[in-house]
Amino acid sequence: MRVFSLENVINEFEVLSKDAGRQQTETLRWILEQNGEAEYLQSLGLAGRTDPESFKACVLDTSPVLTGKPITSISLSSGTTQGKPKFVPFNDELLQSTMQIYCTSFAFRNREYPIGNGKALQFIYSSKRVTTKGGLTARTATSNVFQSEQFKHTMKDIQSQCCSPDEVIFGPDFQQSLYCHLLCGLIFSDEVQTISSTFAHSIVHAFGTFEHVWEELCADIREGVLSSRITVPSIRAAVSKLLRPNPSLADSIHNVCVRLSNWYGVIPELWPNAKYVYGIMTGSMEPYLKKLRHYAGSLPLMSADYGSSEGWIGANVNPSLPPELATFAVLPNIGYFEFIPLEKSEVQDLEKSASTIHYIEAEPIGLTEVEVGKEYEIVGRHREGSRLPSTPEIQFVCRRSLVLSINIDKNTEKDLQLAVEAAALLAEEKVEVVDFTSHADTSTEPGHYVIYWELSCDATEEVLRACCNCLDLSFVDAGYVGSRKVGAIGPLELRVVRRGTFQTILHHYLGLGAAVSQFKTPRFVGLSNSTVLQILCRNVTGCTFSTAYGP
């Protein structure tokens, strides 16, 4: 019998984080000792030294992966940052640190919102499994985690066992898995304590689908027979075992669904014992919060931890903060982290007398040397821009490598998100921006920004024109404003795409081996991403140009 003590987990976390500097040195020593035999480390001339100074002197930050222990499998990153998935080694250490971070943030969550014994409605999905030339299994990092025994034990420890059988999580057809997650969630509706997914997008997507399939779900529950849309034999067999004719449950679901106004609060209505909704809600997930709050009604939203296929970075130990303010406490024993200070500097562009923001990069510093209020790029096993309000809690700002740019202008995914938020407010009450992305069109002179919007229903031309002008004016980066004023960047173009376009984009990524569990809509689509660009262009139903800087 495993004994899981929340207090122990929290105490352990506190001991670790109070002594973060020593922990980092120890962690680095441990990593270098474990991997001392690795060919790569041998070639750097560390000669057995394991201290931070020697490490900094010998290892450049472009270092390839260090590993001395066997790699158990390969993780495929989502590929939504660089356009194509990266192959990252996965091993038991990574699995252990994943469990550590799950338990740590759960302990803090449970202190404020205790859950009882029960189940979790988790919208989690595995990716396709491929075998590398070297004979290793490659799939997304989340799939590597979900299939492990430790994951199942940990979920049991933290009272978060998934309602759905493994056949649903690992099913080969995402739509069928999604339908069955919903069905299993409804079958166990009394027991469900939490609703979650890795990234919040999956929850919003699931309830968007629920709006269309709820009657079919009710029919399955009423008759005790699984819909013919489920054709994968393993999924059919596993889910059919859970299904019994239950007309009273079907009636109560039906009554809730017909009573709701535009699906507001559907989650607590159907899962009355649910305590909160949980998943990554920061960064590129923020645009989905509005819809998520709509479905969640009175239930609190809790943002999950910060990590990547390469490794974890921090846990959300202040779960009651709204997702927009979420911070992550870096766990000093799960990796060795360096931070590149990013200073914004106004650089005058003489020719156009516009100024643009460049980051001045300084030498990387250690975890305990970071200063409150400054922005840094994290160098661990990957790179991000993050803001550090207090040691060692960080706030996610954006992925630094992603920028929308024509010439001297620079706008991050955060800038785009803020512009879209401002413009969306102008859309009529009933019209929602379901999803969005952008493209820097330089095929004509001068180049211009193209923003793609998928809307929940048609908007009038007048509204779209107002939104388009608002978008153009919302990019306040000095390089952009200056270039627009002198005509070095042309009027911003807003293109509306058909409903379901972003669903097609999601399917395109799934076809490449990505998994819904790690999907992040690409916010900038470059020419190199020609398939996604073609999907967008094929689906344009209308476009309008900004007149914000004159006709």
Site residues (vs ligand AMP, CB under 6 A): 77-78, 81, 141, 280, 282-283, 306-309, 382, 384, 396, 399, 518
- Residue from 124, 104, 503, 543 nearest 314 by CA: 104
Task: Answer whether 164's CB lies under 8 Å from 206's CB.
Answer: no
Question: Over the Cα atoms of the chain, what is R_g?
Answer: 24
What letter represents residue 505's amino acid? I
Task: Provide the CB-side half-sphere exposure for 388 (13 A, CA).
Answer: 26
Identify the three-state secondary structure at position 147. coil
> Are 128 and 172 within 8 A, CB to CB?
yes
Output 141 or 192, the one with its CB closest to ligand AMP: 141
Nearest-approach distance from CB 308 to ligand AMP, in angstroms: 3
Find the shortest distance in angstroms from Cβ 117 to ligand AMP: 28
Judged by DSSP in three states, 315 sits in strand
Least separation in angstroms between residue 397's CB and ligand AMP is: 9
User: Residue 226 has which token pair?
Assistant: 């699984």
Residue with smaller CB distance to ligand AMP, 89 or 265:
89
Calculate the alpha carbon distances from 537 to 419, 455, 501 in Å: 22, 15, 10
Nearest CA-CA partner of 339 in 378, 301, 384: 378
Q: Least distance in Å: CB of 325 to ligand AMP?
A: 12
For residue 524, the minimal CB distance to ligand AMP (Å) is: 13
Cβ proximity to ligand AMP, 427 vs 505, nearer residue: 505
Contact 384, 396 (CB under 8 A): yes
Beta strands 73-76 and 137-140, pairing class: parallel
CB nearer to ligand AMP: pick between 287 and 307: 307
Residues 6+ apart with CB under 8 A from 57: none
Phi/psi of residue 411, nearest 5 degrees: -130, 130
Query: Sign of the CA dihedral 447, 522, 208, 420?
Result: negative
Provide the minimum distance between the beta carbon of 332 and ligand AMP in the complex, in angstroms, as a whole number. Answer: 18
Q: In terms of CB distance, is 269 or 384 closer to ligand AMP?
A: 384
For ligand AMP, give the closer residue by CB, 150 or 401: 401
Q: Other C-beta atoms within 10 Å of 86: how many?
A: 16
Question: Toward ligand AMP, which CB reaches closer, 77 or 144?
Answer: 77
In the complex, minimum distance from the CB of residue 67 to ligand AMP, in angstroms, rounded to a whole number: 17
DSSP at 518: G
Minimal CB distance to ligand AMP: which residue? 283
Closest CB to ligand AMP among 226 and 516? 516
The distance of closest approach from Cβ of residue 319 to ligand AMP in the complex, given in angstroms and rounded to an integer, is 13
Residue 164 or 518: which CB sits closer to ligand AMP?
A: 518
User: Please, what is the minimum distance in Å from the beta carbon of residue 399 to ligand AMP?
Assistant: 5
Of the pair 291, 399, the CB lying nearest ligand AMP is at 399
Q: Is the dihedral of CA 234, 239, 240, 241 positive or negative?
A: positive
Strands, E assignment, 115-265: 119-122, 130-131, 137-140, 161-162, 192-199
73-76/87-90 β-pairing: antiparallel
Q: How far is the CB of 201 from ligand AMP (least distance, A)?
A: 11
